[in-house]
Amino acid sequence: MPPEFPHDKKELIEALLAQPVLARLATANPKTSQPHVVPVWFLWDGQAIWISAFSSTRKVRDLVQNPRCAVLIEPEKPDKLQGVLFEGPVELISQPPELVCDTSLRIYTRYMGYEGARAAEPQSWAVDPENHLLKLTPSHIAAW
């Protein structure tokens, strides 16, 4: 069970997480401690953040060796909420393939729309053997 959202910002956070805004995923190279931050598409299911990622990417290579990460989500036009930060360990999920494909398509649909996610390229991403899911069940949530 992830920590609860700050009560004074709960509605604002839930509204932000329902929008298809970019998130920033931060990992760290375990050998050099060099941080790595990349924009990602995400899906919040009420308990965890899900991200589709290929195993050949630096973010996945970093997470295989050091599963701790941070995800920052900011509104496009900050007002009463500037951002939400999620921290914790990531699970790297590659099985069952149906879960990877279905969840990836839900993420793609959020950002590309139903028709866009049904195009040949996103469809091929979803079933590519390199495609994995990153599941961050946060151990810490901060909002400001």
Tens digit of each residue's pLDDT (9 = 90 or more) over 2-23: 788 888 899 999 999 999 999 9
| C-alpha span between 117 and 13 (Å, rounded) | 26
Average pLDDT over residues 128-140: 96
Average pLDDT over residues 89-113: 97
Strand partners, 39: 24
> What CATH number labels 7-92+135-143?
2.30.110.10
pLDDT tens by residue, 36-91: 999 999 999 999 999 999 999 999 999 999 999 999 999 998 889 999 999 999 99
The Cβ-side half-sphere exposure at 77, using a 13 Å CA radius, reads 0
**pTM for this predicted structure:** 0.93
Residue 112 sits at φ, ψ, to 5 deg, of -110, -10
Average pLDDT over residues 95-110: 97
Q: Can you list the alpha helix ranges (DSSP code H) found in the chain?
A: 10-17, 58-65, 97-117, 120-127
H/E segment holding residue 36: strand 35-40
Whether residue 27 has pLDDT greater than 90? yes
